[in-house]
Amino acid sequence: MPRPTLELKRWKRVEYERLVETGVFTPGDRVELIDGLLVVAEPQSSPHYTAIRLVERVLARAFGAGWEVRTQAPIALDETSEPEPDVAVVRGDVRDYAAAHPADPVLVVEVALTSLLVDREHKASLYARAGRPEYWIVNLVDRVLEVHREPGPAPSAPYGWAYHAVEVLGPADVASVLAVPSARIVIADLLP
């Protein structure tokens, strides 16, 4: 007997935002809109949260004035996706986004412990599809930083796009940032 197929409702970003505004989700609900589907976000372990705060602090220093470093805040990525990356860097000031979430982060960072495979495959493909120039994974499993650049079409990727340049940097290495080439980030400073 064939298995019945489940029909999924794909949400648009504007529909999802209406759900948020009407209070369908409580402040403790950790959901993101990923390609039209509501996805439960990774739980916060102590090392995971510590790494998020370290990344936030390091990037705020590296980028300086004129940039907003957002933690676990929505990004209006495209019509069907509003992820809440662990850290994202956007141009401007916090007040610039009072009316709408930013849509054009120059750097997106996910901290990965239990979500490493999802962050490498699905999140990387999602951010590449949106044309984000640079995506970092702070890989707590291997204690490295994975720097993803050069987004482009990749038919076998979950969302049809992938990063074609990936560099893995250890704790003693230093990373540069495309948006602020003069910034130098010591990888050990990102790790708990």
State residue 21's pLDDT score: 80
Q: Is pLDDT above 90 for 117? A: yes
109: enclosing H helix or E strand = strand 107-112
What's the pLDDT tens digit per position in 140-177?
999 999 999 999 999 999 999 999 999 999 999 999 99
- Report the alpha-carbon distance of residue 62 to residue 85 in Å, rounded: 19
Q: What is the pTM of this model?
A: 0.87
- Report the alpha-carbon distance of residue 14 to residue 74 in Å, rounded: 13
Name, in order, each residue with C-beta under 8 angstroms of 116's C-beta and a sequence gap of 6 or more. Answer: 137, 139, 141
What's the pLDDT tens digit per position in 35-86?
877 778 767 789 999 999 999 999 999 999 999 999 999 999 999 999 999 9
Q: Is pLDDT above 90 for 112? A: yes
- Report the alpha-carbon distance of residue 81 to residue 79 in Å, rounded: 6
Helix (H, G, I), strand (E, B) or coil at 104: coil
Give the confidence band of 32 by pLDDT, cuts at 50, 70, 90. confident
Give the confidence band of 139 by pLDDT, cuts at 50, 70, 90. very high
> Which domains, from first to last, does the chain contain?
42-190 (3.90.1570.10)
